[in-house]
Amino acid sequence: MRRFAQLIKVKPEALDEYKRIHASVWPSVLNTIKDCNIHNYSIFLKEPEHMLFAYFEYHGENFEADMQKMAADPETKRWWAITDPMQEPFETRKEGEWWTILEEVFHTD
């Protein structure tokens, strides 16, 4: 199992809608997340900075392949077409990242 933490900003004018649609994520999107070996997925909001923090656990064997599978899913593409314009990536993110992936510096069970 591999843990992931990510950051992105949500546009202030989109915050209410972002929260509303995440209160009832489409079942097809949730199924794709599960089919791509992602578990324990949460998104948290830090105000007043409008910062989103995501955490999930990856239980698969090939993260890149599973992320390609997710990106190819038509319903997930449709979901992202709605949510991506609400988000504001960090300018300092690495090439190819939308959400900035954070380095894990400590963990204990």
C-alpha dihedral, 15 to 18 to 24 to 26, nearest 10°:
180
Contact 40, 56 (CB under 8 A): yes
Q: Are 8 and 90 in contact (CB under 8 A)?
A: yes
Catalytic status, residue 59: no
Q: Tokens in use for 85?
A: 């314009």
The answer to whether the CB of 7 falls within 8 A of the CB of 99 is yes
User: Active-site residue among 22, 50, 59, 107?
Assistant: 22
Q: Which residues pair with 7 in a beta bridge?
A: 53, 100
What does DSSP assign to residue 98? S
Active site residues: 22
